[in-house]
Amino acid sequence: MMDVLQWDGTLSAKDFRIGAVAFAQKWESLNLAFPPWSWVPCPKHPWLASPQEEGYLSLEKICISMPQEEDVDQTSQTDPGEEDASCLGNKDVIDDATLVQSNQDGLHHYDFHIVYSNIFKVPVLYFRAYYGDGRPLPLDEIEKELPECSSNELSKSKWTFITQEEHPYLKRPWYKLHPCGTGEWMKLLFLSDTAQPKSQMVVELYLLSWFSVVGQVVGLRIPSKMLNGC
């Protein structure tokens, strides 16, 4: 634990590993119907002297459930302020019916990786989308499947909000949510949490708090029961 008031909102590689394991374990214990996140160990970069094992969290072959027509109609009647709140990570709108693991043909599949950025010192969400036959899904098709707030943001700043870069371990093009500013809003998130003393930043809760916001950008909302006690 560390003093939140003196903290800059970032993590060390060691703390990322601790937070990743805690996040994956809590996810698996509370989401028995969902596929688990798994830790993928990777060879160390030769130019880094860290003794810690490198790797990332992986959740693959996921179909993000699309809203039915009646859900869209209800959304269109929702007050715009309420919609904005859901886009910013309102815990009250998080449900546990978002993720489905599927191998059916004709569906769009997503792979998600949570990777530590040695530059920004925060987690980064990488993802790729593809058709059932393995062909990559173009960004304009991905945009149609994003939550409305994310799609609107993407239309304004396509290559700063979501960028396509080489996956740091797989060395293939993947999309990622740009991590700029993550440390700042993570600090604000912990400072606004009245349940936690301001003198403590619990490393094990970092990824859970981070994912409760970042995951919603791509429709990956986590069950509210996972946030109990955060």
Give me the amino acid identity at 217: V
Q: Compute the distance between CA of residue 120 and CA of residue 11 in angstroms, rounded to an integer.
A: 9
CA proximity to 33, closest of 127, 116, 87, 97: 97
Per the annotation, the verdict on 230 as an active-site residue is no
Catalytic residue among 42, 87, 149, 180: 180
Element (H, E) at 130: strand 123-130
- Contact status, residue 13 vs residue 115, Cβ threshold 8 Å: no
Q: Compute the distance between CA of residue 176 and CA of residue 76 in angstroms, rounded to an integer.
A: 29
Handedness of CA 194, 195, 200, 206 (dihedral sign): negative
Residues 6+ apart with CB under 8 A from 79: none
Instruction: Report the catalytic residues.
Output: 180
